[in-house]
Amino acid sequence: MSDQAAFAELVAPAAWRTVDLLSDLHLQADEPATFDAWRGYLQTTPADALFILGDLFEVWIGDDATALPGFEARCAELLREAAARRPVFFMHGNRDFLVGPAFAAQCGLTLLDDPTVLVLHGQRWLLSHGDLLCLEDTDYLKFRAQVRDAAWQRSFLARPIEERRALARSMRTQSEARKATPGMVWADVDTDAAREWLQRAGARTLVHGHTHKPAEHALGDGLRRIVLSDWDAAAHPPRAQVLCLSTTGARRVDVR
């Protein structure tokens, strides 16, 4: 995206009263508690639209994974049911960047650009996964450029599914090892970059996930960024939270 390019914009229908934003559920087959919390949430939320801002899945190896009975197929079924009741939007994270148009069509999801401006009740909210703004994480940004490349994705998706699963496992092991490195400091969203995005978007509030550091940060000049919580329903205390936008602003809602 060039510096001058306008961000994607989505104008909410006037009938939407509340919108839920969520991210970083990192759903995976061997963490059933978080899957169950997510299922319960999808079946009970009163929101008029859902915006999933990346890392719904711990890993996504290709949309064809849903053709086999198993975890991906169960996730697709739940999303399809949810999207039949209200619009569900999906933005890619750094884990589930391979979610593709076939999966979106199968589930009735609308894929969103990162970032996207949501215009709700006349207010502009800038939505992002957040990884693009972690400018200090230069190794990751190099990796991101590689795996978002269309040719790289075509060649990865052309491999047999078991080979893709094995590759994803080894990438995850490497990432866990990197996280465990002594002195490892997590990159956070760069304030100047976030301010520049907000100014370009004509918005005052950036909402993002990715860093797993739920907070609200003042960025000066009335600008702010709100960081979504990650989910881990097996943690003590459990984490399962959405950000609910309405005419009265943004409010965190814990999923029970």
Binding site for Mn ion (CB under 5 A): 55, 93-94, 210
Cβ pair 187, 109 in contact under 8 A: no
Q: Which residue, 12 or 209, has its beta carbon nearer to Mn ion?
A: 209
* 38 within 8 A of 55, measured Cβ to Cβ: no
How crowded is residue 147: how many other Cβ atoms within 10 Å of its Cβ? 14
Q: What is the DSSP letter of 63?
A: G
Burial of 187 (0-12, 13-18, 19+ CB in 10 A): middle
Q: In the bound complex, what is the minimum distance in angstroms from residue 202's beta carbon to Mn ion?
A: 26
Least Å distance, CB 79 to Mn ion, is 19
Nearer to Mn ion by Cβ, of 62 and 93: the residue is: 93
Please say which residue, 63 or 114, places its beta carbon nearer to Mn ion.
Answer: 114
- For the bound state, the minimum distance from the C-beta of residue 95 to Mn ion, rounded and expressed in Å, comes to 6
Q: How far is the CB of 93 from Mn ion (least distance, A)?
A: 4
DSSP state of 5: P
Which residue's beta carbon is nearest to the bound Mn ion?
210
Q: State which residue, 12 or 75, has the beta carbon closest to Mn ion.
A: 75
Give dist(CA 47, CA 112) in Å, integer.
Answer: 18
